[in-house]
Amino acid sequence: MKNYEYPRPPIFKARTRERILREVRRRKCKVGVEIGVHRGEFSKKILERTDIETLYLIDPWVVGGIDYPKNDRDEDMRMALEAVEPHKDRVVIVRGFSMEVADQLPNLDFIYIDGDHRYEGVKGDMETYWPKCNDGGIFAGHDFYLRHKCGVPRACYEFFDSIGHEFYVTRCGYWPSWWTIK
């Protein structure tokens, strides 16, 4: 694997991904999606800390993926359903791969990408979901870690450079988030 040369340091704005949720609330985002739900911990935070009326939760919950090669993915899905249970009237579960189910979703005010962390997966999600993000909406994702071999940073730099749009990175610990306003 060739090392990717990052064109510039990231622009740090906001301390944590929870700060992004304050922006979701401030902007009165009503329809959102989280791509890559795992056990629903962040899904629960989104529902508790925002006024999102409909949150689509997309995850294939399959064994053998790059991120979860040996996990019991049915148990992960059960835990995710349990995590969002108090908010089930605001949740739509979509069990599938993000790029394959995108046409089932309406346009969105908030998009959070945390699924396939390989370069091709992240870039594909960005290219697929950017057109679905409403103007003034929040387009974001997780795991912008420059020293890890996941493809998130490279996909972010290449995608946003290709459309001439600036993006930001949180300062939170080991796995920062990236985000922008469309």
For the domain that residue 92 is a member of, what is the CATH number? 3.40.50.150
Does residue 91 contact residue 84 with C-beta atoms inside 8 Å? Answer: yes
Question: Is the pLDDT assigned to residue 69 strictly greater than 60?
Answer: no
6 inside domain: no
10 inside domain: no
Question: Kindly report the CA angle at 134 between 94 and 84, in degrees rounded to 5?
Answer: 35
Domain range for 78 is: 17-181
3 inside domain: no
Percent above pLDDT 90 for the chain:
75
Average pLDDT over residues 82-107: 97
3-state secondary structure of 50: coil
pLDDT tens for residues 89-100?
A: 999 999 999 999
- Residue-level pLDDT at 126: 98
133 inside domain: yes
53 inside domain: yes
Question: Is the pLDDT assigned to residue 1 strictly greater than 70?
Answer: no
108 inside domain: yes
- How many domains is the chain partitioned into structurally? 1
